[in-house]
Structure 1
Amino acid sequence: MSSVAIGQPLPPLTAESTHGPFDSSALSGQAFVLYFYPKDNTPGCTTESQDFRDLHEQFLASGCKVFGISRDSLKSHENFTAKQSLPFALISDPDEALCALFGVMQLKNMYGKQVRGIERSTFLFDAQGILTQEWRKVRVPEHASEVLQAVRQLAA
């Protein structure tokens, strides 16, 4: 499977999520955000998810759905969703198929050791399923607000 690039449509995808099976074809006619994060219940990922949670109604009002994706199990996602009161679906990608499609798996330095993990990244798709914008090497502060601004510009 080749990777997704700006200006290209999202290929048909299915995966397990906290809201039941995720099927990208069901998103036809609606803008959506896919944000990839390293791990449930870690400080940066918790803050990022809370930021998207706190702006969720504004995303919906702008005609955009939000989905979080990590390699965590569905059980881990369900616990994280309950603990953080997340109103949007978290997609489980344990086999890294979605991570590979978006090219988010990277070697990172953690405590002086090289580890392979998800590079925090966000992707915005328009109502036709075309990738219009991407953010890589995301820094959490103000990121969800920046994505919301891009969604509003897309809707304008």
Structure 2
Amino acid sequence: MAKPTTENISLPDFPVTIVRELDGNFIHDEVNLKEMVANTDKGLILYFYPKDNTPGCTIQATEFTAQITDFDDLGYDIVGVSRDSVESHEKFISKKDLQIPLISDTDEKLCQYFEVIKEKNMYGKITLGLVRSTFVFDKNGKLTHAQRNLRAKGYTERLINTLTPV
């Protein structure tokens, strides 16, 4: 599998596990993101975050939920991605009343595809961690915006401003 670069990132053509809540029940689907976008008239915001139920990740997920109508009006679906398990995602969605689906990437296949696993220095110790990143694809599956190593607080508002036509 060829690794994407900033210039040629496209939606991957392999299945991922997506978790969503519908009428109080959790649904786990295997979806192909490339096919998902091809079968709708919407673009896709794919955002990567380090860990369920942590302060920055909670801020980001709840801000995306609060702004879901604005993104829908702009023509985008939103999907969060972390390396957490399906069960962790269920708890996170339930506890924070999230209205966005989350991808469980426990095998890091999607994270590796988008190259969001990087070395981090945590209190002097070098570890591999997920770098908070966002990739925006139009309804044709073409990358229109990418940002890595972003701050969670207020990011959704900044993204809305970036995506809003002038």
TM-score (norm 1): 0.91
User: Is 2:157 the counterpart of 1:151?
Assistant: no
Secondary structure of the structure 1 residue equivalent to 2:94 = helix
Q: What pairs with 1:63-142 in structure 2 (closer than 5 Å)?
A: 63-142=75-154
CA offsets 1:91-149 (integer angstroms, 9 cap, x no match): 01111111111110011111221111100000000110011110111011221111122
The answer to whether the 8 Å contact 1:7/1:130 transfers is no
Q: What pairs with 1:55-66 in structure 2 (closer than 5 Å)?
A: 55-66=67-78
Kindly state the Cα deviation for residue 152 of structure 1 after the two structures are TM-superposed: 2.3
Secondary structure of the structure 2 residue equivalent to 1:108 = strand
The answer to whether the 8 Å contact 1:4/1:101 transfers is no
**Residue 17 of structure 1 corresponds to which residue in structure 2?**
18
Structure 2 unaligned segments of length 5 or more: list them: 21-28
RMSD: 1.5
The answer to whether the 8 Å contact 1:31/1:65 transfers is yes
Q: Name the count of aligned residue pairs.
A: 154
Kindly state the Cα deviation for residue 150 of structure 1 after the two structures are TM-superposed: 2.6
CA distance in 1, matches of 2:114, 2:10: 12
CA distance in 2, matches of 1:144, 1:13: 27
Higher relative contact order (CA 8 A, sep 6+): 1
Kindly state the Cα deviation for residue 6 of structure 1 after the two structures are TM-superposed: 3.9
CA offsets 1:7-59 (integer angstroms, 9 cap, x no match): 55323232111132232102123211000000001111111111111101111
Distance 1:27 1:106, change over 3 A: same
Structure 1 unaligned segments of length 5 or more: list them: none
TM-score (norm 2): 0.86
